[in-house]
Amino acid sequence: MKTTSTPEIAEIADKARAWACYDCGKCTATCPIARVGGALSPRRQVLAANLGHREDIITNNALFACLTCGLCSSRCPAGVVYCELVLNLRQLAFHDGVEPECPHGGALQSMMRMMAKGKTKQDRLSWLTKDLKVQHKKGDVFYWTGCTMYYDAFFPDFNITTLDATRAAIRVLNRLGVTPVVSPDERCCGHDLLWNGDRANFELLARHNVKLVESSGAKTLVISCAECLRTWNIDYQPFFETSPPKIMHITEFMQENLDNLKFKANKEHTVTYQDPCRLGRHLGIFDPPRAILEALPDITLAEMPRSGKNSICCAGGTWSNCDRYAKHIQVDRLREAKSTGAEFLVTSCPKCQIHFACAMKDPNLHEEIEIPMRDIATLVADALAD
Amino acid sequence: MGPEGIAEAPAGESTRDGIFVCGSAVGPQIIPDCVAQASAVAARAQLFLTGHRVEKHEEPVELLDVTGKPRIGILVCHCGINIAGVLDIDDLVQYATALPDVVAAAGSTFACSTTGQDELVELIREHNLNRLVIAACTPRTHEPIFRETCTHIGFNPYLIEMVNIRDQCSWVHTGQPVEAQEKARTLIRMGVARARQLEPLFEGEVPMMHSALVIGGGIAGIQAATDLAVQGFPVTLVEKEGQLGGRLAKPHLKYLYPNMRPATEVLEAKLKLLEESGARVLLNTDVESITGYVGNFEANLTGETEELLQVGAIILAVGADLYDPEEEYGYSKFPNVITSQELETMLVEDDKNVEIAGSRPRSASFVLCVGSRDPEHFPGCSRYCCPTAIKQAILLRRMGMDITIFYRDIRTISTGAEEMYREARGLGVLFIRIPEGDKVQVSGTDHAESVRCFDDLLGRHLEVPTDLVVLSVGMQPKQPETSKFHDILKVSVGLDGFFMELHPELGPVETPVEGVLLAGTAQGPKDIVDTVAQASAAAAKASIFLAHDTVSLNPAVSEVIEEKCRGCGTCAEICEFHAPALVEIEPGTFVARINASLCKGCGTCTSWCPSGAIVSKHFTDRQVHAMIDALFTTETSK
Q: Which of A21, A147, A118, A32 is nearest to A76 (CA)?
A: A21
Does the pLDDT at position B12 exceed 70? no
CB contact (8 A) between residue B621 and residue A105:
yes
CA-nearest residue of chain A to B587?
A328
Q: Which of B387, B426, B386, B225 is nearest to B317 (CA)?
A: B225
Predicted local distance difference test score (pLDDT) of residue A96: 85
Parallel, antiparallel or unpaired: strands B558-560 and B614-616 = antiparallel
Parallel, antiparallel or unpaired: strands A220-223 and A269-273 = unpaired
Alpha-carbon span B441 to B438, nearest angstrom: 10
**Which residues in chain B are contacts of A365 at CB distance < 8 A?**
588
Query: Which tens digits make up the pLDDT trace of A334-350?
Result: 999 999 999 999 999 99
H/E segment holding residue B291: strand B285-293
Same domain? For A250 and A283 the reply is no
Predicted local distance difference test score (pLDDT) of residue B374: 87
Alpha-carbon span A12 to A17, nearest angstrom: 9
Same domain? For A115 and A238 the reply is yes
A101-110, B89-98, B537-546: which range is least confident on average? A101-110
H/E segment holding residue B387: helix B385-398
Alpha-carbon span B332 to B374, nearest angstrom: 20
Query: Which tens digits make up the pLDDT trace of A53-63?
Result: 777 777 777 88
- Average pLDDT rounded to a whole number, residues B374-378: 85
Going from N- to C-terminal start, the domains of chain B cover: 72-197, 209-319+478-546, 328-476, 558-616
Average pLDDT, chain B: 91
Same domain? For A309 and A233 the reply is no
Which of A101, A104, A323 faces B566 most closely, judged by CB atoms?
A: A323
- Average pLDDT rounded to a whole number, residues B249-266: 89
CATH number for position A361: 3.40.50.1860
Q: Does the CB of B607 have a partner CB in chain A at under 8 Å?
A: yes
Same domain? For A22 and A45 the reply is yes
Does the pLDDT at position B202 exceed 90? yes
Predicted local distance difference test score (pLDDT) of residue B55: 60
Which of B562, B582, B613 faces A363 most closely, judged by CB atoms?
A: B582
Q: Are B26 and B115 in contact (CB under 8 A)?
A: no
Does the pLDDT at position B183 exceed 90? yes
Same domain? For A154 and A135 the reply is yes
Does the pLDDT at position B638 exceed 80? no
CATH for B328-476 is: 3.50.50.60
Predicted local distance difference test score (pLDDT) of residue B413: 83
Query: Which tens digits make up the pLDDT trace of B287-332?
Result: 999 988 889 999 999 999 999 999 999 999 999 999 999 999 999 9
CA-nearest residue of chain B to A362?
B568
- Give the three-class secondary structure for B560: strand
Q: Does the CB of A329 have a partner CB in chain B at under 8 Å?
A: no
The more confident residue out of B39 and B558 is B558
Interface test with B, best of A35, A61, A101 (most B CBs within 10 A): A101
CATH number for position A237: 3.40.50
Question: What b-and-e string marks burial along B339-365, b requiring 16 or more CB atoms within 10 Å of the CB?
Answer: bbbebbbbbbeebeebebeeeebebbb
Predicted local distance difference test score (pLDDT) of residue A248: 98
By CB atoms closer than 10 A (0-12, 13-18, 19+), residue A119 is exposed
pLDDT grade for B577, boundaries at 50, 70 and 90: confident
From B586's Cα to the closest Cα of chain A, the distance in A is 11
Predicted local distance difference test score (pLDDT) of residue B504: 83
Does the pLDDT at position A2 exceed 50? no
Does residue A32 fall inside a structural domain?
yes
Query: Which tens digits make up the pLDDT trace of A137-147?
Result: 999 999 999 99
**Which residues in chain A are contacts of B607 at CB distance < 8 A?**
105
- Give the three-class secondary structure for B20: strand
Same domain? For A235 and A375 the reply is no
pLDDT grade for B52, boundaries at 50, 70 and 90: low
Half-sphere exposure of B43 (CA within 13 A, CB side): 31
Predicted local distance difference test score (pLDDT) of residue A328: 94
From B578's Cα to the closest Cα of chain A, the distance in A is 16
Predicted local distance difference test score (pLDDT) of residue A1: 39
Q: Are A222 and A174 in contact (CB under 8 A)?
A: no
Length of chain A: 386
Does the pLDDT at position B93 exceed 60? yes
With helix as H, strand as E and coil as C, how does B95-158 read?
HHHCCCCEEEEEEECCCCCHHHHHHHHHHHHHHCCCEEEEEECCHHHHHHHHHHHHHHCCCCHH
Q: Does the CB of A361 have a partner CB in chain B at under 8 Å?
A: yes
Predicted local distance difference test score (pLDDT) of residue A57: 79
In CATH, the architecture of B558-616 is 2-Layer Sandwich (3.30)
Does residue A75 fall inside a structural domain?
yes
Same domain? For A343 and A361 the reply is yes
CB contact (8 A) between residue A324 and residue B591:
yes
CB contact (8 A) between residue A105 and residue B607:
yes
Query: Which tens digits make up the pLDDT trace of B68-79?
Result: 999 999 999 999
Number of domains in chain A: 3
Same domain? For A238 and A110 the reply is yes
- Average pLDDT rounded to a whole number, residues B367-383: 91
Instruction: Indicate if B558-616 has the same CATH topology as B72-197.
Output: no
Same domain? For A284 and A348 the reply is yes
What type of residue sits at position B243? Q
Measured CA to CA in angstroms, residue B630 lies from A105, B186, B187 at distances of 19, 8, 9
Predicted local distance difference test score (pLDDT) of residue B454: 93
- Average pLDDT rounded to a whole number, residues A26-47: 92
Last residue of a domain, one of A53, A78, A95: A95
Same domain? For A79 and A181 the reply is no
Q: What is the largest CA-CA distance in chain A?
A: 63
Q: Which of B266, B264, B475, B261 is nearest to B385 (CA)?
A: B475
- Average pLDDT rounded to a whole number, residues B235-260: 92
Phi, psi of A87 (to 5 degrees): -55, -45
CB contact (8 A) between residue B564 and residue A324:
yes
A376-385, B37-46, B283-292: which range is least confident on average? B37-46
Does the pLDDT at position B53 exceed 90? no
Does the pLDDT at position B358 exceed 50? yes
Which of A102, A103, A364 faces B590 most closely, judged by CB atoms?
A: A364
Query: Which tens digits make up the pLDDT trace of A141-166?
Result: 999 999 999 999 999 888 889 999 99
Does the pLDDT at position B129 exceed 90? yes
Does residue A355 fall inside a structural domain?
yes
Same domain? For A302 and A332 the reply is yes
Does the pLDDT at position B256 exceed 70? yes
Does residue A1 fall inside a structural domain?
no
What is the radius of gyration, based on Cα positions, of chain B? 29
**Topology of the domain covering B209-319+478-546:** FAD/NAD(P)-binding domain (3.50.50)
pLDDT grade for B3, boundaries at 50, 70 and 90: low
The three-point CA angle B378-B380-B382 to 5° equals: 90
Last residue of a domain, one of A95, A116, A146: A95
- Average pLDDT rounded to a whole number, residues B388-400: 95
Does the pLDDT at position B14 exceed 80? no
Instruction: Give the highest mean pLDDT range of A80-89, A94-103, B29-38.
Output: A80-89
Does the pLDDT at position B637 exceed 80? no
Last residue of a domain, one of A63, A95, A127: A95
Same domain? For A331 and A223 the reply is no
Range of the domain at A280: 261-383
| Assembly ipTM | 0.82
**Topology of the domain covering B72-197:** Rossmann fold (3.40.50)
Does residue A33 fall inside a structural domain?
yes
Does the pLDDT at position B11 exceed 60? no
